[in-house]
Structures are given as structure tokens and as C-alpha cells.
Structure 1
Amino acid sequence: MTDTARTRDDGPAQVERRQTLLNQGYHLVRSGVLAPGPRVHRDLGAIWQLLTWGPSIAGGYRASTVRAPEQTAFVDEQRSATFRELDERTDRLANALRDLGVGPRTPVALLCRNHGGLVESMVALAKLGATTLLLNSGLSPAQVSAVVAEQRPALLLADQEFLDRCPDLPEDLEVRSTWADDGASGLAGLVAAGTAARVPVPDRPGRTVVMTSGTTSTPKGARRPHPHGLSEAASLLSVIPLRTGDRMMITTPIFHTWGLAALQLGMALHAELVLPRRFDPEETLRTIAEQRVTALVAVPVMLQRILDLPAHVKARHDTSSLRVVAYSGSAMPADQVTRFLDEFGPVLYGLYGSTEASWASISTPADLAAEPTTAGRPPLGTRIGILDDDGRPVPRGAVGQICVGNGMLFEGYTNGTGKPMFGDLMATGDRGRLDAEGRLFVLGRADDMIVSGGENVFPRPVEDAIAALPEVADVAVLGVPDERFGHRFAAYVVLHAGAALTAEALVDRLRGTLPRFSLPRDVHFLDVLPRNPTGKVVRRELPGADGP
């Protein structure tokens, strides 16, 4: 080898790539995803399945079937299934779906809560190479109709409760029930009717389309990329200490990017998934205690409802099995972060990301103990840039647009649009800053920022200040149009039962915490904030709210 060749091979980019691969391998071995042991033939068989099927949900579950066939794959409210049983049922389901005309690239919409039927449907569609459209279960019937009209699926698999709402669906759309079905015409009937023949590997892997939340307008379809081997799992596992065989309770909806990521991560770990269809705070604690759940995947509003349970209710359930409580989907108020750490110990991990970017940063219990409002640091294989509007880096500590680069950036919306790119970094639409320790702080959506008194003001600090008041159970703050000033802050506040607080008293108590130009000029007291299943506030349902 010449000196020139050696220099080229050992350049900074190559050295960094080798180091990244070594780090990925370390975290995959540490978590047990790659664990050399006495059953080497099973490990090699699992790797062969991933090579054959690719790192799709079909390949992941085929690999788990080879490596741990008799281990429980999921438990829901009606049944459980081992990886072997799931593999056999999804072969039957895929063959039955093929008889209905589903094949490679055929779009099929799923409108389901979390349960085993949803997982089986996703695996069966992946085995066929179909395109899976994950619809938000919080959509109104009109929104469901609009999404179906735009995406034009050939088949809709939906829980019966959503079909009973009578959305306006095309007459030629094939519809099958996935929960509370009548047997023959539902998912159970399809599984029973399908042959047991092994499904051949499709020429091209299928795609998954995740719908945006639709909190302000008609949801858009975001095309998710195929995972690149196990590097994405290694990225999350570099910060979140999940292990092979964990019992993961996924309470956040799987149709959301965070729930989908949890499913895929659980698949890589061949974890046992505990899948409640609906979230109930006490039932969640009871399930954790009875099934010795080791990891809880949730959104902040769910953790808030757990914290709001009476102390004697929380005390009657043993949650000592929990090692990880991971949340995403929206910001968690600082006082609730501190309370959760105090009550449940150093188990809390916060993931900041989006439908388009997957993940950007993860906060550890140590990060949150030091700075409860931080979004943490980028995990392995992810970069964050704080850029000005022209794409230039801003000084450390300055506010700019948050831009993210990783291997799981979305491939664009199904309507042909996308997000602004600056090199290999994608703009998230949020604004924030990095502190001296490299921790990210998200201040809010760029279009939520208002100019007040000549200052750029974001709603997050205002929400945190209001949430810290003992009378307040829930709060949302956003900019609303103002004829004189252009925009002003409006606060939407839910009080604890029996609490009393006037708008004037609330604003007066904020004066010692917030600058004058940050104080809300409108305060609306509501019985409950309108939130979608992922915990995001539905802005269009707030009185007086307007804008994007």
C-alpha cells in the first residue's frame, strides 16, 4: 500500500465512519441485539432473515421468530402471541390479503388503536411489499374521508368503533374490521381463510406512510424511509438503556412516529410488547405492577395524568420493575419533569423529534435533573445545527432554527412537498438554542413566535411558568392575531378540581417570573384542553385561535 493510498483510506471521514460503526456495534452488543452465545445457529439465522427481507418490520419479526420463536411477541386485552405464532398468522393474513388484490406497492390504510391485530396487519403488509398508510385514530370522520380521498387506498383495515362513526368512504373501497369484528368478514376471518404457505420475499420492500397530526389542517402523508440495518436501533440504544427481552408497554399510539419507533425498537430487541388499546393512568400502573413491565413508552400528557393520581392510588402499585420511562410527542412542563423524577426515580428519558425528522435529541435523567426543560443531546449518528434563516450557524447560545441530520429523515410528503434542507440538515420548523454543554432547548414552533415590545417571544417559557402554579392542571399558550400589535399571547388554562383563580390573578402572579412583553393578554379557562391521541393540543378547537 502506498503512502498516498494509506492517507486516503485513513482520512477523517473514514476514521469517523469506522468509529461510528464500532460505537454502533458496542451498543447493539450491550443491549443484546447482537449477543454471541451458545445458540450461534439462531443468531446466524436471524441475520440471514434480515439480509433476505431487509431491515423492514417483516424482516425484523422473521429474525425474532428464528432467534426466539417461543418468546411472547405481544400481549393485548384479548390475547397474546409468540413470535412463531405471529409469523404463522401473518403468513395466513398476507395470503388472504393477496386474494383481495393486495400486492407490492398497493396502498392499504390502517385506522387502529394499539393491539395485536395492528401489529399483525403491519407485518403482513410488509411481507407483501404493500404501502402501509397509518391513519391517526383521533381524526374526525371528515378528516378520515379527506385523507382516504387523497391517498386512495385499495383497502381499509379499521377498528369497528371508527367504522361506526360513518365516515364518507368511496363505495368501491374494501373495508375490513380489525377489532370487535364479526369473525368471517374481519381480521380473524381473513387469518382463518388464508393459506399457511410461506410468503415469498417481494422484489421491493413496502413503504410506510405516517400522517401528520392534523391539529391545524388536513393531515399530510409523510413517507418514512426504510431503516438502514440496525444503525437506527443503535442510535436510540446509545442513550436509552433498553435490553433484549424487555417487557415494553407502548401507550403512545403506534400510528405516531414515536409509537412506530418504539415498535421497531422492540422488534430489534425481540421485546414483549404490552399493548393497551386505551390509556388509563391507574390501569397503566396496575399493568406495570402485575406484568413487571420494564419500559413504558408514553407522551407527556399521559405521564401528567399518572402524576395527578392521588398519592394513595400510586402507592398501591409496585412500579419498581421500571428501568425506562421514555416520552416524546410534545414538551413536558418542567415542574412535571421534576415531580416524575422525584416520585419514580432516575428512569425518565425525553425524545425530541418529529414525523419528518424521526428523532433529533434525547434527554437522560441526569440531563433532566440538571435542566428540566432541555431536549437533551443528539444520539449516535445524529447531528443538530442551529442555523439562521439563510442556513448559517448561529453562535452557541443564540436562538435559531433547529435543523437535523440523520439516516431517518423522511422522504417528503405524499403531495410532493418537503421540508427546507441546508446541506444534509433538514429544518424542523422549530426554533431553539444549544447551551455550553451542548444540550438543546426547544423554544417553540417558528410560527408560534411573536414579536412583542420589539422582542422575539416564544410560548414555551410562558407555559412552564403557568404550569408551575399549583392551581393549574393543564395549559397551552399560543400567539393569536391582534389588530393593534399583530399578535399577542393567549393562555388556555385548565384548573385542578376545586381550585379558584381569576385571569387577573394569574397574570399578576406571573409578573415576578416573566418579562412584561411575555405576559398573556388573554386567559381562557377551559374544562379540558382539546388534545389528539398523541397529546398535542388541537389548535383549531381552541376559542379565538387562528393561524397555521
Structure 2
Amino acid sequence: MPRPLDALVTKATSTGYGVKVLAESGIIRPYSPRALGRAGRALQQWGTGPAGGFLAMASLAPDRVWIIDERGPCTFREIDRRTNALARALRKRGVGEGGSVALMARNHRGFVEATVAAAKLGADLIYLNTAFAGPQLVDVLEREDPSVVIHDEEFTGMLAKAHVAQRVLSWVDGIDGQPDPSGPATLDSLIAAEPDDAPVAVPDHHSRIVILTSGTAGTPKGAPRNEAGIDAAISLLSRMPLRSGWRVHVAAPLFHTWGFAHLMLSLLLGHTVVLRRRFDPEAALAVTDEQRCEEFVVIPVMLQRILALPDETLDRYSLETVKVVAASGSALPGDLALTWMDRFGDHLYNTYGSTEVAYASIATPEDMRAQPSTAGKPPWATVVKIYDERDQEVPQGESGRIFVGNSLLFEGYTGGGHKDMIDGLMSSGDVGRFDEDGRLYVEGRDDEMIVSGGENVFPQEVENCLARHEAVVEVAAIGVDDEDFGKRLRAFVVLRDGAAASEDELKAHVKDNLARYKVPREIVVLDELPRNATGKVLKRELVDRDNSDNHEEDA
């Protein structure tokens, strides 16, 4: 292994365990000395972010297919040439080293090519959530001030009020994918018009990726993170048995921490990444089977939507080649983990973390068979501690604030501010506890807990209870004012197709399984819960709905 490449893994392989994980995953394996030399130089010059990671794997396996989307397959060599040309075209439009590019695109090659091209220029990347509302986009773009916004054509109207001088289309929905000649340029047109696809000069600045928080409680915050080292990959691989050379269907949004993490892992493990622009539950099963994928990357609501399909539909798909279903983004409600594994097998892994701390713990199939609601155990080189309000660590079994330490903590919000820190550990914003086996349980957001009649109540516990009712497919709960108890919960449920359950029946179910003071004051049936593109419930919209209903009652 050449010296530059060796330097990058020294820290991670300083123990025999690190070497073991790298070897088992197939990262350490025979390559020609010349290919290893090129890969090592790429990492030394470009870093371990999107540009360096891509160029290293393109050196090792140039003709391997990296991306398969609706337009077909694309190899590392093809994407290298295209992104060289695109980088030059973007530079002519004002994108420079240390500048930034905003990207609002679904899962397709345009997202990937824009990311690699901008990184080759040393520009930072700001990933915009495809479910943002117009006002949120305006606020974020005004704060981040990118040189260029690259977006799918469908988002043109949403971006209309944002002040951005340069726009480029990453995907076109028109006839045969042809853009409006009077509209913005496309990635394809920029690449086609650029005659030079030779390598670009190495920038001094390595790109940062700015992942935006979910914005479930207000304007999304930018959470920048510098490039991760190989030790971060070892951490994930220590609890999730991914292997090199796999074909992986990434259904989770690429702009989300989890989707992006697997795009970057593909550059270390040499994965072929299968993408589809939109998630459809049956289509996701179909493409995973058809492409014979070994890994399926999802957010939990996708599992819920798949399991809500009729049995005769589910019976058509086996997922027989899948070895890992990797979920992250929110808690697995109720007995979702058991239901999935009973149907498709014990290959579900759920990762707990946040935009700010990345991953904090990983639940394996064995963990969830034993305790379906657990968030699992911290992976290698990750520290998780539970602190009380006096910043003192609590005894095992007691609840408190979750703090995390690893190599992936973010640097602070782009608009200013930071997460609370204690002894180098960062707050996840959640409350939880450890059991006697070292498993973590997340009880809810620290800002969602209510005090009802002097007792602490976390909505998530009640949500999990209601989710276990046979008629309920989705549930969310919020705190509302109550004259007698100070606060009570109001729950919103979505029932399964053809199912029926009265409010009294659902309340009785909670009363039979939880303490009396945890029974919601009201349970409202909705057709669907408001969610963002990463599957998180927009509880502020439920609060607004609750306030609106109260005003109507008072009128």
C-alpha cells in the first residue's frame, strides 16, 4: 500500500480490530501497485470527500458501473470525464474554490455528477430538501448565498422567489427530456458544450458538505461537515456487515445524511448504486429484486409503506439477494422491526443519530429481536453518555439527555450557533437510557416531553403503543394545554385500509399497556400524517391544526 494511502488508514488500523473490519469488508484486497499508487495520490491531493473518494475508486476500477438510474448505467470512467467537463462549465458560471453550489434534486445521476464536479472545484455543496416549502427555500438560499443553484425542473416554481443569479437544471421532465430552449441550461447541455474533459487542477480547499436539518420545528439550519476519514467507515462497518462489490439500492434521499453516507461508502467499498427518482413501495421491491441488490437503504417510513401493501403484492417479491436493509432517519415505530423481519428475514439494521452527530448507535437484527424498540449499541470509536440537567452522568437504567462523541460531529450551524457540549460530547437533542445489556433506548426529543399532572410523558412511548394496535398504520402525538393536568397528549392516527377503530377503543388500548396519565386526551383519525421528504412527521403542522381547531371551537 503506498505511503499516502497508508497514512490515511494508520489511525483506523492502529488496532487489530480496525484491520479485521477492513479485511472482512473487502476494503483491504489485492490491487495492482500502479492502481494503488494512483488511488493513494488522489486521496493525498483531493482528500477523502466526494472528489478524492471518487477519483481513488475511479483509479482502482474505472470501468466498474457506479450509478444505475432511469437513464441506464454509468461507469466511473464515464462520470470522471463528464464531471471534468461540468466542473469547467460551472467555473465559467462563477463557481470557484471556497464558493458554494446549492443542489435540489431527487435521486439520479444529475445529483451525483453535480456533487463530484463541484467538489473537483473545491466548492462547498448545500443539499436542499426536495420537500421544502417556498418560504423555507428563500430563507435558506438567502442565508447560504450559493453561486449557482442546480435543481430538477419540477422545482422551478418553488425557487421562483429566491434571488439566485445562476441556475442549472439537473433533470428535465419535458418531452424526451428536452429542456425549454428559453430556460436555464441543463447539466447535459453544459457537458456537451465543453470540449475539454481532461482532469481539472487540484484545489487547495477541500469541499464541505452542508446537510440541512429537517426543519420540523422552523427554518432548516445548515450543518456543515468536513470530509470523513476511513475511521468513520470502520465505525459503521463494525455493526453493519457491508461488503465490497455489492449492488445497493439507495432509496433514502441522497440529500439526507443517510443517503449521502451510502453514496460515499460506495466509493470506499466499490458499490454499484441503484437510484430511482421517486420512491414507490412496490417499485422499490421490484427494482431491488430485478437488480439483485445485496443492500437496500431506506428511511423507516419507506418500510411502513412497503408493509402496508396487500399480502398478494408482497408475496411477489422475495428480496432473496438482500443481505442488509439499512434504515435510519427516525425511530422504528411499534413492532415495525419484527413485522419486517418476519416477512423478509433477519437482515434489518437501524441506525440512530442526527444531522449534527451523524450516527450514535446501531441496532442489529439480534438487538431488535430481543427488544424491538431499542436503538442498539454504539459502534466502534463512538461514545454515548446520558447526562442529567446538572450535566452529571446518570446511572444505568435512568433517563437523561443523550450526548455523543465520534469523528463525524458537525462544526456548528452555518447561520451561527451550536449544539450543547459536555466533555467533548455533543447533544443529540434526545432523551434516552441504557439497559443492563448496554442497549440504548431513545424516549423522545428533549423539547417534546410534557409534564402531565406532575409526571413526565414522552410522546414517542405513546406513539409506539398506538402503533402496535392492529388497526393503526401511522401515529404522531403532541402536547396540548389542559386545565386539569397542565398538559396532555393529543394523538393523530392513520388507520389501515379497511380497518376501523373508535377513539374509545384506541384510548383503552393505551390504558391497558401504559400508565393512566399517558392516555391521550384526544385521538384524531387522519387520512395521512404531514411528513417531509425524509419521512419525519411535521409536528408543527399538527400543532397548527390543533390551534386552528381550538379557534374554531371558541368562535
Band the TM-score falls in, shorter-chain normalisation: over 0.9
Q: CA deviation at 1:28?
A: 1.4
Residue equivalent to 1:349: 349
Q: Distance in 2 between matches of 1:538 and 1:20?
A: 44
Deviates more, 1:95-104 or 1:307-316: 307-316
Q: CA deviation at 1:498?
A: 2.0
How many angstroms apart in 2 are the aligned matches of 1:257 and 1:545? 32
**Whole-angstrom CA distance in 2 between matches of 1:497 and 1:345:** 25
Between the two proteins, what is the percent identity of the paired residues?
45
1:386 maps to a residue whose letter is I
Q: How far apart are the structure 1 equivalents of 2:89 and 2:95?
A: 9
Of stretches 172-181 and 507-516 in structure 1, the one that deviates more from structure 2 is 172-181
Residues 106 and 130 in structure 2, CA contact (< 8 A), matched pair in contact too: yes
Task: Choose which of 149, 154, 157 in structure 2 pairs with 1:161.
Answer: 154
Q: Displacement of 1:242 after TM fit?
A: 0.8
| CA distance in 1: counterparts of 2:411 and 2:350, whole angstroms | 25
**1:477 to partner: Cα distance:** 1.5
Please give the per-residue CA displacement for 1:9-49, whole angstroms capped at 9, x wherever unaligned.
xxxxxxxx7886432222112111121x2534323332221
Q: Cα deviation per residue 1:528-548 (whole Å; 9 max; x = unaligned)?
A: 0011111100112222169xx
Q: Please tell me the residue identity of whatever aligns with 2:531.
A: R
The residue number in structure 2 matching 1:220 is 221
Deviations 1:374-433 (A, max 9, x none): 000111111000111222110000001000000000000011100010011001110000
- Which whole-Å deviations, capped at 9, do the CAs of 1:107-151 have from their partners, x for residues lacking one? 211001111110110011111010111000010112111111121
1:267 alignment counterpart: 267
Residue type at the aligned position of 2:165:
L
| Selected match of 1:544 from 534, 543, 546 | 546
Distance 2:450 2:525 in 1: 22
Residue from 148, 160, 169 that aligns with 1:177: 169
CA distance in 2, matches of 1:509, 1:361: 31
Between the aligned partners of 1:18 and 1:174, the Cα distance in structure 2 is 41
Give the unaligned 5+ runs of structure 1: 1-16
Distance 2:95 2:13 in 1: 43
1:441 and 2:441 matched: yes
2:201 matched residue in structure 1: 200
Q: Give the corresponding residue for 1:147.
A: 140
Counterparts of 1:483 and 1:101 in 2: how far apart (Å)? 59
Aligned AA (1:76): D
1:189 aligns with 2:189: yes
The TM-score with structure 1 as length reference comes to 0.93
Letter in 1 for 2:75: T
Return 289-298 or 536-545, whichever deviates more. Answer: 536-545
User: Is the Cα–Cα contact under 8 Å of residues 207 and 226 in structure 2 kept in the other structure?
Assistant: no
Q: Distance in 2 between matches of 1:433 and 1:281?
A: 33
Which position in structure 2 is the counterpart of 1:14? none
Q: Does 1:88 align with 2:81?
A: yes
Give the stretch that moved more between structures: 326-335 or 354-363.
326-335
Task: Name the CA distance, whole Å, in 2 between partners of 1:104 and 1:481.
Answer: 51
Compute the RMSD of aligned alpha carbons. 1.7
| Structure 1 counterpart of 2:397 | 397
Amino acid in the other structure paired with 2:127: L
**How does 1:354-369 map onto structure 2 within 5 Å?**
354-369=354-369
Q: 1:353-390 CA deviation, whole Å, 9 max, x = no partner?
A: 00000000001010010010000011111100011122
Which piece of structure 1 moves more, 25-34 or 80-89? Answer: 25-34
Closer, same or farther: CA 480–64 of 1 in aligned 2, 3 Å: same
> Structure 1: how far apart are the matches of 2:364 and 2:247?
20
Partner of 2:110: 117
Partner SS, residue 351 of structure 1? strand
CA offsets, 1:431-456, max 9 Å, x none?
Answer: 00001111100000001111123221
Post-superposition Cα deviations, 1:86-118, rounded to whole Å, max 9, x if no partner, equal 111111110111111111111211001111110
Provide the TM-score with structure 2 as the length reference: 0.92
What is residue 210 of structure 2 aligned with on the other side? 209
Question: What are the within-5 Å matches in structure 2 for residues 378-457 of structure 1?
Answer: 378-457=378-457
Deviation at 1:484, TM superposition (A): 4.5
Which of 62, 79, 82 is the equivalent residue of 2:55?
A: 62
Equivalents in 1 of 2:547, 2:459: separation in Å?
14
Instruction: Indicate the larger mover: 312-321 or 467-476.
Output: 312-321
Residue deviations 1:57-105 (CA, integer Å, cap 9, x gap): 1011101111111110001112321011111111111011111111111
- Provide the C-alpha distance between the structure 2 equivalents of 1:371 and 1:312, rounded to a whole number of angstroms: 29
Name 1:33's counterpart in structure 2.
27
The answer for unaligned runs of 5 or more in structure 2 is 1-10, 549-555
Give the corresponding residue for 2:462. 462
| Aligned counterparts of 2:101 and 2:547: Cα–Cα separation in 1 | 35
Cα distance change of structure 1 residues 382 and 20 upon mapping to structure 2, 3 Å threshold: farther
Structure 2 residue aligned with 1:9 = none
Deviation, 1:350, is 0.3
Separation in structure 2 between the aligned mates of residue 545 and residue 243 of structure 1, nearest angstrom: 50
* Partner Cα distance (1:186, 1:177) in 2: 4
| Matched AA of 2:169 | S
C-alpha contact 1:225 1:409 (8 A) present in aligned 2: no
Seen in structure 2, the aligned counterparts of structure 1 residues 18 and 468 have a Cα distance that, compared at 3 Å, is closer
Residue 30 of structure 1 aligns to which amino acid in structure 2? E
Q: CA offset at residue 315 of structure 1?
A: 1.6
Aligned to 2:471: 471
- Alignment partners' CA distance in 2, 1:447 and 1:223: 23
The answer to whether structure 1 residue 47 and structure 2 residue 40 are counterparts is: yes
